[in-house]
Structure 1
Amino acid sequence: MPQARRSRAVRPPARAAALPRHGGLTVPWITGWFDGRPYFGVNFPVRRVQCVVHRLCQFCRQPLGRRIGLVVRPADLAVGYVDEPGMHPACLDYAVAVCPMLNGTMDRYRAAPPAAVARLVALTASRAGLPAEAYDAWYITPSGYHVAYGPDGSVLGIRLDTPVLLKKPLRAAARPRLTEEHAARQRAVIDLEQLPARPEG
């Protein structure tokens, strides 16, 4: 698609210069590699926890600064935390420019990754094939950065009950696609509505 080709020309932040590249794109530090290739959108669980606990940018791995960008979905609001680590604003801008899920180019999550990958990232696998959700960018300060922990002490993510400097919509939720059965029913209803009315009497 033309939009995807244009996005490849976007320059990554200078702090990400040492990161590997694949297909013309800079690969975020948190991205999982399997069989010699990166699976964009699939995060290494250990690196995710390291980023959240040590306040590292998930994209470039460097310490977060005075402004921290979070990518927030309605599902995150429902549980009160975002499981994705924060990013520098410039790193988040680059991610939005090149990621088809964040910028709205893609309307569905991709099919489930290989079984070996899915075992490591159950959350990613659970969204496989579903319509894309709405995404917003939230910007917070270090004083509002608090880690969310589970009852067993596991690191869930970054809490969302915090003051927000700015909320910016990134993309709207994608409309669910009609199944063939639903499409056939819809066509039947339209056909019935277009039939001439029967004369009374």
Structure 2
Amino acid sequence: MTTPNIPNIPLQLAGRPTAGGFMVPWITARTPDGRYRFGAVDLDRQNRALTDGLCQICGAQLGARIVFAMRDSDLRLLVSPEPGMHPVCAAYSATACPMLAGRMGHYRTTSLAGQLADLGVLPQGDPASLRAGAPAEPWQLVWVTGYRPFTNPLTDQLAALLLPEQILRVRPIGTTSSPNAGTEAAPE
């Protein structure tokens, strides 16, 4: 396992909690003993962010430009299961998150639901654990002018629906073709 590069935390995020040198996103779940669990989300905060237009990273109100981190499969459907972000928050996430940055070539082999069940944390994002151990998909940052919260019929979870005319820019991020892809553990 390699040691992750820890990016500088932007000034706008300096007041947020940290774990292992990484800033903890606002929607990150906490275990009953108070530890943050990267890769798991607090369902109430995630839903609040989606319905109230809050940034998933800092929890503040989003502005006129919203950025979504989307897998290719989500982008094809124009549906994001995760809330949007401010541009600064998205830039930090694209370098700090090992999945977004392309430092993980595969999802964890143990389902997140299985990892969290004994801790009393409800996992979100992959309710059927379909991605456990699967190769990571390419990620894009998608700049938009708005979105519509809706219940995704494929997952029965709240998500963001993007309209083609709302999309301003799509930029690929990360790459899983680096020599160390898949060797870095996600921050715990």
- Give the TM-score normalised by the residue count of structure 2: 0.78
Confirm or deny: 8 A CA contact 2:66 2:144 kept in the other structure: yes
Secondary structure at the counterpart of residue 100 of structure 2? helix
Q: Which runs of 5+ in 2 are unaligned?
A: 178-188
Q: What amino acid does structure 2 have at the position aligned with 1:139?
A: W
Report the number of matched residues: 167
Secondary structure at the counterpart of residue 56 of structure 1? coil
Identify the residue that residue 163 of structure 2 maps to in structure 1. Answer: 161
Aligned sequence identity (%): 35
**Offset at 1:27?**
0.3
Q: What amino acid does structure 2 have at the position aligned with 1:147?
A: P
Distance 1:67 1:45 in 2: 24
Q: Does 1:23 align with 2:27?
A: no
Q: Does 1:130 align with 2:134?
A: yes
Distance 2:60 2:159 in 1: 18
**Offset at 1:130?**
1.2
Find the structure with the greater CA-based Rg: 1
Q: Which runs of 5+ in 1 are unaligned?
A: 175-201
Secondary structure at the counterpart of residue 133 of structure 2? coil
Matches within 5 A, 1:80-99: 80-99=78-97
Q: Which has the higher contact order (CA 8 A, sep 6+)?
A: 2
Distance 1:99 1:121 in 2: 17
Q: Does 1:36 align with 2:34?
A: yes
Identify the residue that residue 60 of structure 1 maps to in structure 2. Answer: 58
Moved more, 43-52 or 161-170: 161-170
**Offset at 1:120?**
3.4
**Offset at 1:106?**
1.0
Secondary structure at the counterpart of residue 158 of structure 2? strand
Matches within 5 A, 1:45-56: 45-56=43-54
Distance 1:97 1:52 in 2: 23
Confirm or deny: 8 A CA contact 1:11 1:94 kept in the other structure: yes
RMSD: 2.4
Encode CA deviations 1:71-106: one digit per residue, 9 max, x unaligned: 111221354411100000000000111111001111
Encode CA deviations 1:115-159: one digit per residue, 9 max, x unaligned: 426753361633222111110000011xx32222357xx662111
**Offset at 1:20?**
0.9
- Give the TM-score normalised by the residue count of structure 1: 0.73
